[in-house]
Amino acid sequence: MDVLALEAKKADIVEPEKKAAPRPKPKAPKKAKRIVYFEVEIVDLKTKEKLLLLDKVEPTATVLDIKALFHKSYPKWYPARQSLRLDPKAKCLKDEDILQTLPVGTTASFYFSDLGPQLTWGTVFLAECAGPLIIYLMFYFRLPFIYSPKYDFTSSKHWVVHLACICHSFHYIKRILETLFVHRISHGTMPLKNIFKNCGYYWSTAAWMAYYINHPLYTTPYYGQQQVNAGLYIFLFCQIGNFSIHVALRNLKIPGSKTKKIPYPTKNPFTWIFWLVSCPNYTYEVGSWIGFTVMTQCVPVAFFTLVAFIQMTVWAKGKHRSYLKEFRDYPTLRSSILPFIL
């Protein structure tokens, strides 16, 4: 068979038609998720009177959002004055708690109590520090009606008295500047009535210390200049350490965020104590007052130092427990305030 005949036969063969590929079916539009709204009832904790019923509250609403809605109906109770809880005997809910994560159904009852007028913590800290600073200087300059009239506006002949005034003033000026420019205070407010208790303690103890240190009959430390120098070195060392810790804690917090992190030592040697202690700011603070006690050899200062140590130990233990509860990988070697002891 010649080539032309073969080509003719191939031309006669009809190839089967190719089936067109099936078109993909269009996807059905996703059904919008149904939002389950909450109904929130706010009840007075004492009288059990129903104060407000909030309808269609979004499940992602926070406790602070609910407080804001409540504030619209009751303007005198701004959010900082409100305490909301799920049970009359339960703890107050945090502002950042989300409604849908709370152990409630779609109908939730919140018990309201009034915390009273509030002040910002920054205002409280400033009042606590400004008072002792001014009061101590009043005794240092021996204003009238403090000591005998013949000593009015006189100055002490002892160098340690002037040094003590410099150190005391430096401490409280440092605290004021830290409150204004360093601290990022996580707590919003505190009751107005507490400022009288806090300031009363700090102001009265400052007056008690200042009265004896600046008294015309004040006697210098038993071991003289060596004791004064030792106390001064301890004081300055701990003041620098305290400031270093405050800066490290500030850098740990992101402005506007409440996310907590484990504090670790930085390149600053004064922060290396973080390897051993959870709250070294309190450790350094107590150390400063121990140095001031050694420098002045004054009983009221020693008493203030002892009380401060007890109070700061309570705070440090609470903070230490909080760290252990929040962070599973928290360093186990750390103590609360004193390495290996407390």
Question: Is residue 82 in a domain?
Answer: yes
Closest Cα partner for 244 from 269, 278, 279?
A: 269
Question: Which residue's entry shows tokens 């204004």?
Answer: 180
Residue 337: its H or E element: none
Task: Record the pTM.
Answer: 0.81
Q: How confident is the model at residue 31 (pLDDT cuts 50, 70, 90)?
A: low
Neighbours of 99 (CB within 10 A): 21
Question: Is residue 149 in a domain?
Answer: yes
Residues 100 and 173 in one domain: no
Residues 238 and 293 in one domain: yes
Domain end call among 61, 86, 115: 115
Domain end call among 69, 85, 115: 115
Residue 240: give the domain boundaries.
225-341
Asked if residue 1 has pLDDT above 50, the reply is: no
Question: Is residue 9 in a domain?
Answer: no
Question: Is residue 72 in a domain?
Answer: yes
Distance of CA 99 to the CA centre of its chain: 24
Question: Is residue 298 a contact partner of residue 228, using CB atoms and an 8 Å limit?
Answer: no
Taking the C-alpha atoms of residue 324 and residue 332, their distance in angstroms, rounded to an integer, is: 9
Give the range with max mean pLDDT: 24-33, 56-65, 85-94, 218-227: 218-227
Domain end call among 205, 220, 235: 220
Number of domains in the chain: 3
**278, burial (CB in 10 Å: exposed 0-12, middle 13-18, buried 19+):** buried
Residues 92 and 154 in one domain: no
The 10s digit of each residue's pLDDT in 103-126 is 888 888 999 999 989 888 888 889
The 10s digit of each residue's pLDDT in 202-248 is 999 999 999 999 999 999 999 999 999 999 999 999 999 999 999 99
Residues in the chain: 342
Amino acid at 33: K
Radius of gyration of the chain (CA): 34
Question: Looking at residue 43, which CATH number applies to its domain?
Answer: 3.10.20.90
Residues 60 and 132 in one domain: no
Question: Is residue 16 in a domain?
Answer: no
Q: What is the pLDDT of residue 70?
A: 92
Residues 80 and 182 in one domain: no
Distance of CA 111 to the CA centre of its chain: 26
Residues 111 and 121 in one domain: no
